[in-house]
Amino acid sequence: MGERTGLGVVEIALLEALETSPFLRCDEALARVEERIGLAPGYAYEVLVDLARPWTMPVNLVQGQGNFGSRGNDPPANFRYTEARITRAGRAALAAERGEMAPLPIAIINGNTHRAGLRPPFRPHAVIDAVREAIKRPDVTDADLTGMVGLPYFLTGCTVTGDLTALAAGRPTELSLQAQVSISDDRRTVIIENIPPNISTDDTASIIASRASASRWANDHPGLHRIAHLPLADLRDETSDRSRPFGRIVCIPTPGTPPEQLREMLLDVTGVRTTMPVALARPLPALIRHWVQTNASEDLLASLAVLEHAIPSRSS
């Protein structure tokens, strides 16, 4: 892992492969990576896809062109048919790794839960503000730094709750991630949006549909069936890579079912609500202070400003 950004060897090699081209065919970029570090294209492509997908991490270092998969179970196209280029944030990360500018706290921001790791992502500008405060005011309290960073942040827009005290203290804990569930203006449908990132929209729709089907054990356990069965007449998965990339499932209640009832039941369905184990290597304030102290000899404020301007507003 790079000491100056927290990026891994593969991420750095990918950024180096992409830095000289407006858009480069991914097979060419992966061939350069294999030449540099000996990693086969199939393995490096998984990392490249993560770097490019708009829902995986707050600071995207790569922009993709072509089919990079979806929030559903659709895989990305073969790397011979996709292209990618480095983003402004990616160029800043590469400059920091090369010592051309001061280090950047990208690993703290992006975390690694997108690859089943335990470090959650945080809102980029919140982390930048907290680091900036720790630089300018070394006596800032741990509570102030924790409050500035806030809860983990996922680009799908799901609601995040959990024991922030435990997370900030560096203790393993669990987050609860919940999609946005609302009733349409005409009160005919219940709409599920901003589905958590650790489950696909296809799987979420499948789980909801299964809960609406008649169970084989319904006659033997009528009470349990009434509790578990969703009064759902139909559903539509309207997730779109372009207009609704973070998930949208439209649920139609059975005739006579108030939409409020269906909404309350959907809130407890797996996929609409998920959990995620998380942990930090050290307490959050200590993580920020350690990063500042380790890089105290460099112009961190200038590099933070560069990163701040390189981050799209949607990631703020």
In a domain, 241, yes or no: yes
In a domain, 203, yes or no: yes
What HEC string does the chain produce? CCCCCCCCHHHHHHHHHHCCCCCEEHHHHHHHHHHHHCCCHHHHHHHHHHHHCCCCCCCCCEEEECCCCCCCCCCCCCHHHCEEEECHHHHHHHHHHCCCCCCCCHHHHHCCHHHCCCCCCCCHHHHHHHHHHHHHCCCCCHHHHHHHHCCCCCCCCCEEEECHHHHHCCCCEEEEEECEEEECCCCCCEEEECCCCCCCHHHHHHHHHHHHCCCCCCCCCHHHHHHHCCCEEEEEECCECCCECCCEEEEEECCCCCHHHHHHHHCCCECCEEEEEECCCCCHHHHHHHHHHHCCCCCHHHHHHHHHHHCCHHHC
In a domain, 173, yes or no: no
> pTM of the prediction?
0.90
Verify that 203 and 98 share a domain, yes or no: no
pLDDT by 10s per residue, the chain, length 316? 457 999 999 999 999 999 998 999 999 999 999 999 999 999 999 999 999 998 899 999 999 999 999 888 999 999 999 999 999 999 999 999 999 999 999 999 999 999 999 999 999 999 999 999 999 999 999 999 999 999 999 999 999 999 999 999 999 999 999 999 999 999 999 999 999 999 999 999 999 999 887 555 444 444 444 556 899 999 999 987 666 778 899 999 999 999 999 999 999 999 999 999 999 999 999 999 999 999 999 999 999 999 999 997 655 5
In a domain, 147, yes or no: no
Verify that 223 and 201 share a domain, yes or no: yes
Verify that 184 and 238 share a domain, yes or no: yes
The pLDDT score that the predictor gives to residue 315 is: 59
In a domain, 139, yes or no: no
Residue 25 domain boundaries? 9-124+284-315
Domain count, the chain: 2
Verify that 108 and 57 share a domain, yes or no: yes
In a domain, 136, yes or no: no
